Amino acid sequence: MNVVQKILFILLMAGLVAGCTAPAVTTLSYSGPFKLDIPIREFEGATIFHTEQLSVKTRSGALISGMALTHQTEELPQDFNLQDYPEYLFRLRSAEALSESLAEYFRNSSQETDQFYGLDNLHRIERSGYRIYSACKTEKCLALVVKKDVKDQILVLNADKLEPGSFEELINGLKDVAY
């Protein structure tokens, strides 16, 4: 083997080893712009099913569900900016300037969100192309994901019987997909 062949062989082997050590994932597609990679090792033997939401239930009973929220799914007026939805839901922005019916919708939704996930537990994360709002109370978690270049939908993820740290790791599996 000449020097060039040896270098190519070493690079090829290094690439194969790196590929073998990369974690195996399965991708859940909630809509065109929203995809989530989940590690297979943590979800081995899980059941994937779809009702109103795309869901994964692990052998241990943890449940992760999600859906793309749109104007139609929430019966919101077309002129409502969906990217503001998490701001109103988590009471970061007052809903009083909205129409009475929309303000009432967010008051009720905020109360329910506070009861199950705790508004005081809110974390807001800025990532390249995303803004993520998440809240967890014990083993119940909720995340709303706003993709900055997507105006017609946001992703809603929720989990039951999953530790907050595990939920945050799961959110890190969001893929940046061109839309």
Contact 106, 153 (CB under 8 A): no
Fill in the DSSP letter of residue 24: P
Buried b / exposed e over 65-84, threshold 16 CB at 10 Å, is bbbbbeeeeeebeeeeebbe
Can you give the pLDDT at residue 12? 45
pLDDT digits (tens, 9 = 90+) for 89-101: 999 999 999 999 9
User: Which of the pair, 44 or 156, is modelled with greater confidence?
Assistant: 156
Tell me the residue ranges of DSSP E strands in the chain.
Answer: 25-31, 34-39, 47-50, 54-57, 63-69, 123-127, 130-137, 140-147, 154-160, 174-176
In the chain, the percentage of residues whose pLDDT exceeds 70 is: 85
Contact 34, 146 (CB under 8 A): no
Fill in the DSSP letter of residue 93: S
pLDDT digits (tens, 9 = 90+) for 137-148: 988 999 999 999
